[in-house]
Amino acid sequence: MKTNLRSTILVAVVAGVSLLAGCGGVSGNTYVGANGGYSIEFQTGGKAVESLGGQKDNCTYVEDSGKSVTLTCADGHPVVFTIGSKGELVAPGGSMLGMMGPLTKK
């Protein structure tokens, strides 16, 4: 009986963790600026592609518990985007990216 209960609890925990991991997060999503000229495509494995106009740059990213995403591209300077209450990405205030407004999920 104890084994069945433990198995049931283990299955429930694994299912719950899988469900939480699948919800939210930036992986597998593309975020676009208001004018459509700037976007970030977040891929699995911490890789991303940043596009500005016709130029693309390969980047890496790290997500912090659904609160922020740090994007590092070829220039080596990390940019920390805050994840807003509606799921939008907000660039640091005063930065060039911040002037373009929040990035929304495509």
Domain chopping of the chain, boundaries: 26-105
Record the tokens describing residue 50, joined without a space: 């940043």
Q: How far apart are CA 33 and CA 56, in angstroms?
A: 15
Q: Cα separations (Å) of 37 from 63, 74, 98?
A: 23, 19, 14
Q: For residue range 24-34, what is the model confidence (pLDDT) as tens digits?
A: 699 999 999 99
Q: Looking at domain 26-105, does it have CATH number 2.40.128?
A: yes
Q: For residue range 26-65, what is the model confidence (pLDDT) as tens digits?
A: 999 999 999 899 999 999 999 999 999 889 999 999 999 8
76: phi then psi, degrees, rounded to nearest 5: 80, -5
Question: Are 89 and 40 a contacting pair, CB within 8 Å?
Answer: yes
Q: Look up the pTM and report it.
A: 0.75
